[in-house]
Amino acid sequence: MTVQLPKAAEMHEEINKPIFVVGSPRSGTSILAWCLGHHPNIFPVPESNWMGDFAANVAVAHQIGSARGRLSILSAMDIRDDEFFAAFGRSINELVVGHRRDLEINRENSNSPSKINQQWLEATSMTAGPKTRWVDGTPEYSLHICGLRKLFPQARFVHVFRDVDAVVRSMVNFHRATGIQLVANEEDAYKYWVRTVRGCLKAEEAYGPHVVYRLRYTALVETPELALRSLLDFVGEPYSAKCLDPLSQRINSSNVPPDFKPDDSRTDPPIVEEARRLSTEIEQTCQPGQQSSAVADELESEFDARVKHMATFR
């Protein structure tokens, strides 16, 4: 017997489509999240960082709840893992959308220095309309796309790609603007870029261009309207010129000196060579046009290994 979902449930499922902007830190993830956050139906949230580990913990919980077969509640009630994940994802979505006003209030009342333009806050505030989707620009989610898809099966991912040397310059100078040391040294910056970018490339291959969209940073800078039109089409939203507003000024700049060059003699040359070779390869090739079930299986295996590791510490 087919059970018909109530109309409210169908509508709820329709809007549970968050957008995750991924890629290496200092690649433009923040500015792109704010661009999308100016859309009439999308609002930006602070970097969250916790959902990747949370997805693995949900998997651990499902294993525990199914461990004894029909003597365990989840197995006895035929609650599958995909159903279990999606239920938590819907709850997260409800919380994020439902607390949008609280986010706005806290931003308005914050006493800490902020580079967020007041006009941007107005564009993303409650007065901008009843937005139903949110965008998260956490770079570390480059390594957790498989788990996030379990929580949010309809989520869309935008991989922002930027030339590795430009990213490294920004990473090692990040403390100039924020007082925060993003990486210990130049070698760590190259390794960080390679790790996150390879994670995104693998997700591109595994899930295809309907789930993961590669956006070159240069396209965002040189042809912003064309880039955003294509991106909004990918996430299924109509074009809005408001999304261009944040590009009128730089945010979160690392204040890189004009003559700065990444040339730390302590950096291992093979690491630099690997990163630059990968960067050039991405510049010269398009993302895969089809999804690969074999690569998706690899990501599933990596996720399962992570779950197994976390289960040993419970």
Asked whether residue 159 carries a pLDDT value surpassing 70, the answer given is yes
Q: What is the mean pLDDT of residues 46-65?
A: 96
CA dihedral 47, 49, 55, 58 (to 10 degrees): -110
User: pLDDT, tens digit, for every residue of 120-129?
Assistant: 777 788 888 8
Instruction: List Cα–Cα distances, 281 to 165, 223, 286, in angstroms.
Output: 14, 22, 9
Rounded-to-integer distance, Cα 200 and Cα 212, Å = 8
249, two tokens: 């000024």
Q: In what order do the strands lie in the sheet with 212-216?
A: 42-45, 133-136, 19-22, 156-161, 212-216
The matching CATH number, chosen from 2.40.50, 1.10.760, 1.10.10, 3.40.50, for 7-311 is: 3.40.50
User: pLDDT, tens digit, for every residue of 173-226?
Assistant: 877 766 778 888 999 999 999 999 999 999 999 999 999 999 999 999 999 999
User: pLDDT, tens digit, for every residue of 227-267?
Assistant: 999 999 999 999 999 999 999 876 556 566 666 666 666 88
DSSP state letter for 72: S
**Where are the chain's structural domains?**
7-311
Rounded-to-integer distance, Cα 243 and Cα 233, Å = 13
pTM: 0.90
Higher-confidence residue of 141 and 257: namely 141
Average pLDDT, the chain: 89
Rounded-to-integer distance, Cα 108 and Cα 96, Å = 18
Rounded-to-integer distance, Cα 121 and Cα 123, Å = 5
User: 162, 27 in Cβ contact below 8 A?
Assistant: yes
